[in-house]
Amino acid sequence: MRKGGTMAIGRQQLAFIKELYGTRLRISYHAYVRREPAALLHLEPGRQDPYPIYRRIRERGVLAPTPLGNYVTASHAACDEVLRSRSFGVGQDGRDAQLSLLDLDPPDHTRLRRLVAPDFTSRKIPAFGPRVQAVVDDLIRTVPRDQPFDLVSSLAAPLPIAVITDLLGIPDANAEEFAMHGTRFGSALGGIQSIAHARELAATRARLAEIFTEIFELRRQHPQDDLIGRIVAANENSPEAVRPEEMVPLCTLLLIAGFETTVNLIGNTVLALLSHPDQWRLFTEQPELAEQVVEEGLRYDPPVQRTGRVAMSDTEVLGRPVAKGQFVMTALGGANRDPAAFDDPDRFDINRSNANEHLSFSGGIHYCVGAPLARLEAAIALRAIATEFPDLREAGKRVRRPGSLIRGIQEFPVLVPAARRTTIV
Ligand code: HEM
């Protein structure tokens, strides 16, 4: 390649390529040669069905060592302790907090979380019920009848996009464009897969920054009482409340977290229901069980499968030593199937009495800000699906989304047979 020419690869890019493919090679070696369960989680077996892998991790102990000197745990008690412990943190350099709150430790985390949390409390969120119901009714009304349709692009994806863009105050949101940015962002959380993937992600970041910067300017000129309006006002009143460079990552996180996960909660739960006809029948007969269905859906097949923390000092987890700097991967999806926490954990049971003890929204200071909103949206959507489409069935090959960290279905062909169809008027 010619040095300095258009074909030249810069040093930085070369280092990135080496790091990217070196990491992938290392993971593949540990997964397929050494059969290390922690490595398998990152690859195709983890994407298709991580639950048997979690079982193997648990068999290796409460804290299973990983090949790189860290730990992975699929124990409910251990995940819970790590996530709540003050001795653990995200341990990243706060100056490059691309994922805002998720990349921050106190005191920056506390400062920014205080700014947005009041908008998402379980006292405030129910007021969104009528808006959510109206969006769901509209979507249900417009899905094609008597022919297969994609549950994800017709129902599960547009709902959370409409709700979070509304809540943030993004005018004329282009649902399709946001869905694309969300998928790119979400798949990157599990690691960059290729140079093309890295380029796409950079383009997505730039586009979202452009959208938010425009809205910030709009709110400066015409203050408005929505979440973005309040973030802009907080910055204007005191740049220390939220620094200018923190505003785009914060809004990006709220936007992406607001729909990238909820879409998969709806998809995964419908799949669990259709795969367990007795549970589906029970739900169609008693749609008032929707909140319980959501909790068991969250437990059984959660959209966020894992997170992790770094020990900020020498510490212990359930009495086992963890040295400062060691990383513990908390397998949330594994914790939810821990027999020490849930009876017969692989059974999907919408009447399970302690389903809500799942760790699908994480725990401790990073516990999901949007949990009440996600629960509300999913309950309204699932109740409507069970009521309006009691004969819903699968109608083609499902496509899983890429990556194994965010778990969900990307294309979910279903059909509402004509005979027993009911209609909203
Ligand atoms: C089913 C839907 C959802 C699931 C499964 C989910 C899951 C999670 C998880 C596991 C975390 C913590 C990650 C960690 O501990 O490292 C988290 C954090 C977060 N979630 Fe959600 N989430 C969902 C919906 C939402 C919604 C609707 C919003 C709305 C804005 C949202 C906003 C956030 C934010 C801002 C954080 C960061 C909190 C912090 O670091 O303090 N999430 N979510």
Q: Which CATH number is associated with domain 54-415?
A: 1.10.630.10
Q: What's the pLDDT band for 387 if we cut at 50, 70, 90?
A: very high
Instruction: Report how far residue 32's alpha carbon sits from residue 105's, in angstroms, rounded to the nearest whole number.
Output: 35
Helical ranges in 238-366 per DSSP H: 244-260, 262-275, 277-285, 290-300, 332-335
Q: State the distance from the centre of ligand 1 to the C-alpha of 304, rounded, in angstroms.
A: 9
**In percent, how much of the chain has pLDDT > 70?**
92
Rounded to the nearest angstrom, the distance between the alpha carbon of 281 and the centre of ligand 1 is 31
Q: Which residues contact 369 (CB under 8 A, 6 or more apart)?
A: 101, 113, 116, 117, 120, 254, 257
pLDDT over threshold 50, residue 179? yes
Q: How confident is the model at residue 425 (pLDDT cuts 50, 70, 90)?
A: very low
The answer on pLDDT for 163 being more than 50 is: yes
The H or E element that residue 28 is part of is helix 11-28
How many angstroms is it from 390 CA to the middle of ligand 1? 31
Q: Whose CA is nearest to atom 11 of ligand 1?
A: 368
In the predicted structure, residue 146 carries a pLDDT above the cut 70: yes
Whether residue 300 has pLDDT greater than 90: yes
Angle made by CA atoms 379, 296, 55, in degrees to the nearest 5: 150
- Token look-up 């805002």 returns 100
Q: Which atom number of ligand 1 is nearest to the Cα of residue 253?
A: 35
pLDDT on residue 1: 35
Per-residue pLDDT of 234-292, as tens digits, reads 999 988 889 999 999 999 999 999 888 999 999 999 999 999 999 999 999 999 999 99
Per-residue model confidence (pLDDT) at position 186? 74
> What is the pLDDT confidence band of residue 416, given thresholds at 50, 70 and 90?
very high
Name the pLDDT band for 17 (thresholds 50, 70, 90): low
Q: What is the best residue among 132, 170, 261 to mutate for testing ligand 1's pocket, by most ligand atoms within 8 Å of CB? A: 261
Ligand 1 centroid from CA 371, angstroms:
7
CA angle 350-257-259, nearest 5°? 65
Ligand 1 pocket, 408 CB below 6 A? no
Q: Residue 417 above 90 pLDDT?
A: no
Which one of 250, 356, 368 would you pick to mutate in the ligand 1 pocket, going by the greatest count of ligand atoms within 8 A of its CB?
368
Distances (CA, A) of 405 to 181, 190, 247: 17, 5, 25
Which residue stretches of 103-261 are H helix?
108-116, 129-142, 151, 158-168, 175-189, 195-221, 227-237, 244-260
Q: H-helix or E-strand containing 44?
A: helix 44-48
pLDDT at 182: 77
Q: Which of 20-29, 169-178, 402-411 has the highest mean pLDDT?
A: 402-411
Average pLDDT of 32-49? Answer: 87
Is residue 257 lining ligand 1, measured as CB closer than 6 Å?
yes
Rounded Cα distance between 369 and 254, Å, is 9
Say what the pLDDT of residue 190 is. 67
pLDDT of residue 37: 86
Q: How far is the CA of 274 from the centre of ligand 1 (A)?
A: 26
User: Model confidence at 107, in pLDDT bands (50, 70, 90)?
Assistant: very high
At 12, is the pLDDT very low, low, confident or very high (cuts 50, 70, 90)?
Answer: low
- Distance from the alpha carbon of residue 261 to the mean position of ligand 1, in angstroms: 8
Please indicate whether residue 173 or residue 126 has the higher confidence score (pLDDT): 126
Q: Is the CB of 304 under 6 A from ligand 1?
A: yes
Instruction: Tell me the average pLDDT of the chain.
Output: 90
Is the C-beta atom of 366 inside 6 A of ligand 1? yes
Instruction: Kindly tell me if the per-residue pLDDT of 226 is higher than 50.
Output: yes
